[in-house]
Amino acid sequence: MAWLQKFKQLVEEAQKRHAKPVDIEQFNHPLAGQTEWHPLKGGGANFQTHQLDSSNPDQLVFKATRFTQIFSGIFTVVGIIGLVVPLAIFFYHGAESWWLIFFALVFGGLFTAAGAMLFYYTAAPKVFDTFYNCYYVGRKKPQDTLGRNQSGKRPVIDFNEIKAIQVLSERISSKNGSYLSYEINLVLADASRINVIDHGKHEAVINDAQMLATQLGVPLWDAS
C-alpha cells in the first residue's frame, strides 16, 4: 500500500536524523561506506530479550530469555482472563449485560492477541548453523535452496553473504524516562542489513556480536 510505504519512509528518515554520527573510517573496510548507520529496527527493550546459546557445537542460537517469555506470557494470561470472566458473567446474568461481550472482545481479545504475537516473534530461535553454513529464523532446518523465495523474503542467509557484524545503539524515550537499546545487524555483500536482536543489555550484545564475528570470520563494526 502506498500509505504504508510512505509511513515507513517517514520513520526511516526520522531514524536517520536522530542517528549518532559514526566515523566509518575506523572500520577500514570499503563496504562500511556503502552501509547505512541508522538503527535498522525502531524501538527496543530496556532489558535483555535474547541470549546466545553455544551449547550445540553445530549452532549458535539466539533464544528468548526467561524474563521475555514470562513478559509475553503475562499479556496472554491477562487477555484470557479478560475474555473468560466477562463472558462467564454475561452467561450468568443474561442478555442485559451485553456490554460485557464488547469488553471481552476489545480488552481480552487485544491482550490475548498482543501476548500471542509477542511470544511468537520472540520465541522463534535465530540460528547460525555452522553445519549448513547459514543463518535462519525458526525451528525448521534450512532447505537446499538458499536466498530469496517467491515472496521476496530471505528465510536463509548463506554465511558467504555476511561480510560484517554491525552493532548500533538507539535512545528510546518513554513516559518514565529514556534508555538505550542495542541492535546486532548482519551486513551483507550488497550493503543491505538484516536485524538479529535488539535489547538493552550492552555487555551481552557486545559479547554475542564478538562471538558471531569470530565464528563467521568477519569484522565487528561496533558503533554503539
For the segment 144-165, what is each residue's pLDDT rounded down to a tens digit? Answer: 444 444 444 556 899 999 999 9
The pLDDT value recorded for residue 195 is 95
Is 16 among the domain residues? Answer: no
Is 12 among the domain residues? Answer: no
Amino acid sitting at position 188: L
Is 179 among the domain residues? Answer: yes
Are 186 and 223 in a shared domain? yes
Is 170 among the domain residues? Answer: yes
Alpha-carbon dihedral sign for residues 109, 114, 115, 121: positive
65-71 average pLDDT score: 82
Are 39 and 73 in a shared domain? no
Is 33 among the domain residues? Answer: yes
DSSP string over 88-138:
HHHHHH-GGGTHHHHHIIIIIHHHHHHHHHHHHHHHS-EEEETTTTEEEES
CA 223 to CA 186: how far, in whole Å?
14
Q: How confident is the model at residue 44 (pLDDT cuts 50, 70, 90)?
A: confident
Mean pLDDT of the residues in the chain: 80
Is 30 among the domain residues? Answer: yes
> Which of these, 79, 51, 46, 56, lies nearest to 141 by C-alpha position?
56
Dmax (CA) for the chain in angstroms is 72
> CA dist 185 to 98, 136, 160, Å?
49, 13, 15
Domain count, the chain: 2
CA 221 to CA 168: how far, in whole Å?
9
CA 103 to CA 92: how far, in whole Å?
16
Are 114 and 222 in a shared domain? no
Residue 95 scores a pLDDT above 60: no
> CA dist 2 to 5, 6, 20, 42, Å?
5, 6, 29, 20
CA 23 to CA 35: how far, in whole Å?
12
The pLDDT value recorded for residue 149 is 46
The pLDDT value recorded for residue 36 is 94
In this predicted model, which residue has the larger pLDDT, 108 or 6? Answer: 108
Are 109 and 159 in a shared domain? no
The pLDDT value recorded for residue 173 is 79
Are 90 and 31 in a shared domain? no
Is 139 among the domain residues? Answer: no
The pLDDT value recorded for residue 202 is 95
The pLDDT value recorded for residue 197 is 94
Are 161 and 208 in a shared domain? yes
Report H helices in the chain.
Answer: 2-18, 66-93, 99-103, 109-123, 202-216
Instruction: Domain of residue 200: give its range.
Output: 23-58+130-134+154-224
* This model's pTM is above 0.85: no
In this predicted model, which residue has the larger pLDDT, 198 or 20? Answer: 198
Is 15 among the domain residues? Answer: no
Q: How confident is the model at residue 10 (pLDDT cuts 50, 70, 90)?
A: low
